[in-house]
Amino acid sequence: MRRCLVFTAALLLATLPAAAQKLAATPPMGWNSWNWFAGKVTDADIRKAADLIVSSGMRDAGYVYVNIDDTWEGKRDASGNITSNEKFPDMKALTAYVHSKGLKIGIYSSPGPQTCARYEGSFGHEEQDAKTYADWGFDYLKYDLCSFGKNMREAHPNDPAAQNKMMRDAYVKMHNALVKTGRPIVFSLCQYGFDQSWQWAPEVGGNLWRTTGDIQANYESMMHIALAQAGLAKFAGPGHWNDPDMLEVGNGKLSHDENITHMTMWSMLAAPLIAGNNLTQMNDDVSSILTNKEVVAVNQDKLGHEGDRVWAGEETEIWARPLADGSVAYAILNVSQDRSVMRGMKLHLKEAGFPSGTAHARDLWAHKDLGVIKDTDVFTIPKHGAVMLKLSK
């Protein structure tokens, strides 16, 4: 049986190269093409996204990566070098344009022969592809397991341990290829949390790694993923982050309160904030949620300590996250399926690090100081909503 290695955040940080820690010292923030465009994304779409990230204020709020997802890939040339397809006629020109906006740019591939959309993967061409990405000027690589799962099963039928080792080795191979280029490139592992990715992903060079399956633009999917992160805080820190998948804020039929809960939890979890909404139709409400400076500051807190569950009941959950200035980010969630909750039971402030049962509170969504709150204070939380506070002694 494979020996499971359990790390503390401090030990993981000690094992990471200094360059990796600096490269993703706080969770990456940006935008990815897949949630809105899927396979229809083009060069023009990416340029327009870059323009809108700047004009909307998202860049100034910290969203600096503009990431191309699947379907950019063309065929390989006679020497085996990957080319882009007709939707992306000049990758160097595109990266130069995005960089000219004060932004960075990401690309996508797979360790398998094909990507999820059945375009050309990096199998057998890892060093070539890494060099190409660096030569083109990319700053971020999302590496999606996809067809490599078939390779794993065919190579080691009925042997999950050997399959998992093969998966880890594939990610090591691309990490080493990226390092060899000499260009700083954030390495995002998209492998859906297989084999408890949080336990091994830092060892293979991951700056972030998926902890679950794909998110969908609905409350049930978002909350299932969010609450599944309980207990994973010790595996994250500067240079290495648990990734509960991209933001769906502004997508589907998520309500205002559901978008608030989504952004609250991803910030509490020190999760990468990779938006995926239609920037051309972003309304003021969605923009204000994504760019709330006080909430983003929690996500980007330099201590890099992921939040965790403090208390859970039938209708509410409470999560807390220690911050670099000695304060605590504190989220009260309405997890009831059908009604608003009048939060009147204990706030569990002692479990959040306030032995007296009192704390000075600031409401980060209302941008309002609440003064001193007590364990017995009452908060009204709308259906599928959340309260996010910053607590200090």
How many angstroms separate the CA atoms of 101 and 53, rounded? Answer: 9
Give the predicted TM-score (pTM) of the model.
0.93
User: What's the pLDDT at 164?
Assistant: 96
Tokens (6 digits) for 106: 């990401």
- Computed on alpha carbons and rounded to an integer, the radius of gyration of the chain in Å comes to 21
Is the pLDDT at 4 greater than 90, yes or no? no
Do 266 and 316 reside in the same domain of the chain? Answer: no
Spacing of C-alpha 52 from chain mean position: 21
- The verdict on 216 and 149 lying in the same domain is yes
Angle between helices 43-55 and 91-100 in degrees, nearest 10:
0
Name which residue leads in pLDDT, 381 or 4: 381
pLDDT in tens, 226-262: 999 999 999 999 999 999 999 999 999 999 999 999 9
Q: Is 144 a catalytic residue?
A: yes
Q: Which residues span the domain enclosing 316?
A: 309-392
- The β-bridge partners of 331 are 319, 388
Write the pLDDT tens digit of every residue in 5-53: 333 444 444 444 455 457 999 999 999 999 999 999 999 999 999 999 9
Given 268, 299, 330, the domain boundary residue is 299
Same domain? 39 vs 71 = yes
Question: 214, 363, 375, 377: which one is catalytic?
Answer: 214
Whether residues 119 and 232 share a domain: the answer is: yes
Q: Beta-strand (E) ranges in 110-203?
A: 140-144, 186-190
Question: What is d(CA 222, CA 224) in angstroms, rounded to the nearest whole number?
Answer: 6
In the set 43, 69, 139, 144, the catalytic residue is: 144
> Does residue 69 carry a catalytic annotation?
no
pLDDT score at 8: 41
Cα distances (angstroms) measured from residue 351 to each of 23, 198, 230, 232, 330: 33, 25, 15, 18, 11
Tell whether 3 is covered by a domain.
no
Q: Are strands 368-374 and 358-363 parallel, antiparallel or unpaired?
A: antiparallel
Tally of domains within the chain: 2
Residues 336 and 209 both lie in one domain: no
**Terminal Cα distance for the chain, rounded:** 47
Q: Give, as one character, the DSSP assignment of residue 254.
A: -
